[in-house]
């Protein structure tokens, strides 16, 4: 079924909202990530509501908190706003400490609706692939970009993968598991980092 004009409106809204935002350390316009998440959602069989939420999943967390979520609800409906809310782990500009915030988000994931889990999983897969590709390019300098550092980031994505394998098994969860399996182990020396690049699998046929 073709996407409606509401999707077009969400795309323009997301582009304007995140216009000055770039991906950590890369300078890539942030809209590239939002488009990728939305595309992965659609390729995995998601609805237009979920695809719009994919475009807007970071709107509240990165661009205005509750006020932005209220605007998303007014423009795109309660279902989209609920998914965006479920993808958000902080509502304030000065975010709470990183580790407790991530632990709370991980603990909440199994209780979230599958409609929200699909968008969150698409987001985490896209992030994980970007991390791996950048790690293969620049090595351990990568971890300076992240509040959790090397060990915290590795812990977080391994926990995410384990939870999604249980909560929403399927191609995207397998993709996340595969990508995380190429992340360095704590005991790996820098010269042992993997050289394999993992490319997006959203459009690949399901094995």
- Per-residue pLDDT 10s for the chain (207 aa) are 799 999 999 999 999 999 999 988 778 999 999 999 999 999 999 999 999 999 999 999 889 889 999 999 999 999 999 999 999 887 766 778 999 999 999 999 999 999 999 999 999 999 999 999 999 999 999 999 999 999 999 999 999 999 999 999 999 999 999 999 999 876 545 555 555 544 444 445 444
- Please indicate, yes or no, if residue 47 is contained in any of the structural domains: yes
| Sign of the C-alpha dihedral computed for residues 90, 138, 28 and 129 taken in this order | negative
pLDDT of 190 reads: 53
Instruction: Give the residue carrying structure tokens 């077009």.
Output: 8
End-to-end CA distance of the chain: 24
- Written as six digits, the tokens of 190 are 């820098």
- Written as six digits, the tokens of 171 are 């191609």
> How far is Cα 127 from Cα 111, in angstroms, rounded to an integer?
22
- Please indicate, yes or no, if residue 167 is contained in any of the structural domains: yes
> How far is Cα 60 from Cα 125, in angstroms, rounded to an integer?
20
Q: How wide is the angle at C-alpha 171 spanned by C-alphas 169 and 176, nearest 5°?
A: 85
| DSSP per-residue string spanning 63-127 | TTHHHHHHHHHHHH-HHHHHHHHHT-S--SSSPPPHHHHHHHHHHHGGGS-HHHHHHHHHHHHHH
- Its pTM stands at 0.87
| Sign of the C-alpha dihedral computed for residues 81, 83, 85 and 90 taken in this order | negative
Which residues are within 8 A (CB) of 184 and not within 5 positions of it... i.e. 6 or more apart?
135, 150, 154, 192, 193, 194
pLDDT of 198 reads: 47
> How far is Cα 30 from Cα 66, in angstroms, rounded to an integer?
21
- Please indicate, yes or no, if residue 201 is contained in any of the structural domains: no
> How far is Cα 143 from Cα 150, in angstroms, rounded to an integer?
5
pLDDT of 191 reads: 54
- Please indicate, yes or no, if residue 207 is contained in any of the structural domains: no
- Please indicate, yes or no, if residue 203 is contained in any of the structural domains: no
Residue 27 lies in domain = 5-192
Nearest Cα to Cα of residue 36 among 156, 122, 143 = 122
- Please indicate, yes or no, if residue 88 is contained in any of the structural domains: yes
pLDDT of 96 reads: 83
- Please indicate, yes or no, if residue 36 is contained in any of the structural domains: yes
Which residues are within 8 A (CB) of 144 and not within 5 positions of it... i.e. 6 or more apart?
none
pLDDT of 92 reads: 66
Q: Looking at residue 40, which CATH number applies to its domain?
A: 1.10.3210.10
Q: How many domains does the chain have?
A: 1
- Contact (Cβ atoms closer than 8 angstroms) between residue 121 and residue 4: no
């Amino acid at each position: 079924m073709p996407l409606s004009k509401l999707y077009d409106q969400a795309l323009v809204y997301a582009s304007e909202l995140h216009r000055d935002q770039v991906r950590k350390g890369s300078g890539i316009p942030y809209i590239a990530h939002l488009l990728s998440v939305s595309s992965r959602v659609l390729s995995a069989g998601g609805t237009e509501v979920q695809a719009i939420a994919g475009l807007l999943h970071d709107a509240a967390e990165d661009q205005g908190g509750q006020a932005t979520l209220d605007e998303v609800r007014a423009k795109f409906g309660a279902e989209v706003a609920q998914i965006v809310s479920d993808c958000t782990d902080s509502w304030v500009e000065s975010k709470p400490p990183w580790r407790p915030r991530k632990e709370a988000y991980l603990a909440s994931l199994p209780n979230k609706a599958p409609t929200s889990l699909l968008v969150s999983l698409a987001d985490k897969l896209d992030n994980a692939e970007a991390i791996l590709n950048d790690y293969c390019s620049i090595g351990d300098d990568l971890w300076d970009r992240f509040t959790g550092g090397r060990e915290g980031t590795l812990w977080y994505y391994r926990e995410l993968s384990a939870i999604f394998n249980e909560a929403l098994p399927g191609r995207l969860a397998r993709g996340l598991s595969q990508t995380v399996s190429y992340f360095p182990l704590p005991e790996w020396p820098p010269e042992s980092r993997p050289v394999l690049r993992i490319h997006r699998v959203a459009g690949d046929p399901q094995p």
